[in-house]
Amino acid sequence: MLEFMHESSYGPKLRGLTNQERIAIAKISYELLEGCRGYFNHRDFMDVSPQVPRITKATGSCENLNTTFPLRFFDKPAYLAQTEQLYLETLIPFFKKVCCYGPSSRAEARVDARHICEFYLIEFEEAQESEGERLFDQLLADIQGVIQAMISRVFHTAKEDLGILGVNEGLLKLACEPFQRITYSEAIRQLDLPWCTDLKSADEERIVKSLGNRPVFVTHFPKEIKFFNMRDNETDPRVVNSADLILPYSGEAVGGAERESDYLKIRHKLLGSRMFAQLEQKGGGIDDFEYFLAGLRKRGGIPHAGCGIGFNRIVQYVCQLPDIRLTTWFPIYKGSIF
């Protein structure tokens, strides 16, 4: 059913998959999930998937509300969640370390090798005793830890499936070494891009190749191009303590940050954000964030950080697939629902 004819700089010419290959991808996905669960169990994260909502107010949107699917919830406007991060944040005072698994929906009309309108998203948030560099380092250690646990599990339990897909194991094993790290400032200097440019797929590919075709954290993005809940850096107020993990094949696969935990600061950031302007254009307002803000006002101030792991991009990377639509049995994109 899936036949993709364009070329990728990473893979051979694309073609439809055999059933054997589709089964191998699904099995590797399963082992990746198991590896992820093992890491979260080991690190005492509590899975709160049944606690968090999928039909949401604008609180379930990421930074671009225009890519959130609208929905009629009886007499009220609602959305299909893109992220649970703000809900996870409200649970931090109660559980300290939480994670969840579930669908993330994105109304992206563009059809290409790196986007689908529905993907599986793994998210976690964790509290720490202190803010700043130590918390940020712990976040990066956990992102690296969970990705490595996932891949390590696949090497132990799905070797045969990697073989069926013809995966270059040497290339994949580079993920078992410490991840590379580069700041946004340094990245745009190397790419010769102006400040505040968001990185495109081709830019991500260049960075990854220049650092040896292995996972790379790009850190400390300008606050203007990131979600409102990220915490400003202590020494450079132009940037936030954020990190995107860029992978070969799939590009940006994880987006994480230290969160702002001060009620007044975050309210100010929310009201000044591009997403909030979009919400007001649609007739919405601060009421959409009532629950989130009330929680912070009452129990805020706990330093915490978290991230979202785009599971299908991990699968694409591990299976070395030229197109993200090959990562799931029922790929949803414009013109394709089942």
Q: Which of 118, 142, 205, 260 binds a copy of itself (CB under 8 A)?
A: 118
Between 90 and 219, name the residue whose CB sits nearer to a copy of itself. Answer: 90
Give the other-Cβ count within 10 Å of 240's Cβ.
Answer: 28
Provide the minimum distance between the beta carbon of 150 and a copy of itself in the complex, in angstroms, as a whole number: 12
Q: Which of 10, 39, 87, 179 binds a copy of itself (CB under 8 A)?
A: 87
Stretch that binds a copy of itself, among 94-102, 170-178, 247-255, 301-309 (CB under 8 A): 94-102
Report d(CA 191, CA 169) in Å as an integer. Answer: 29
Provide the minimum distance between the beta carbon of 69 and a copy of itself in the complex, in angstroms, as a whole number: 6
Q: Which of 10, 37, 267, 320 binds a copy of itself (CB under 8 A)?
A: 37
Provide the minimum distance between the beta carbon of 338 and a copy of itself in the complex, in angstroms, as a whole number: 5
Starting from the edge strand earliest in sequence, which strands make up the sheet with 304-310, in order?
A: 46-47, 97-105, 118-127, 304-310, 251-258, 242-247, 216-219, 180-183
Q: Which of 248, 56, 29 is nearest to 120 (CA)?
A: 29
* Residue 258, strand partner residues: 305
Residue 104 burial by Cβ neighbours in a 10 Å radius (0-12, 13-18, 19+) = buried
Q: Which of 35, 61, 82, 101 binds a copy of itself (CB under 8 A)?
A: 101
Q: Which of 56, 63, 120 is nearest to 88 (CA)?
A: 56
Interface with a copy of itself (CB under 8 A): 19, 22-23, 26-27, 29-30, 33, 37, 46-57, 59, 69-74, 76, 78, 80, 87, 91, 94-95, 101-103, 105, 107, 109, 117-118, 120, 291, 311-312, 315, 328-330, 332, 334-335, 337-338
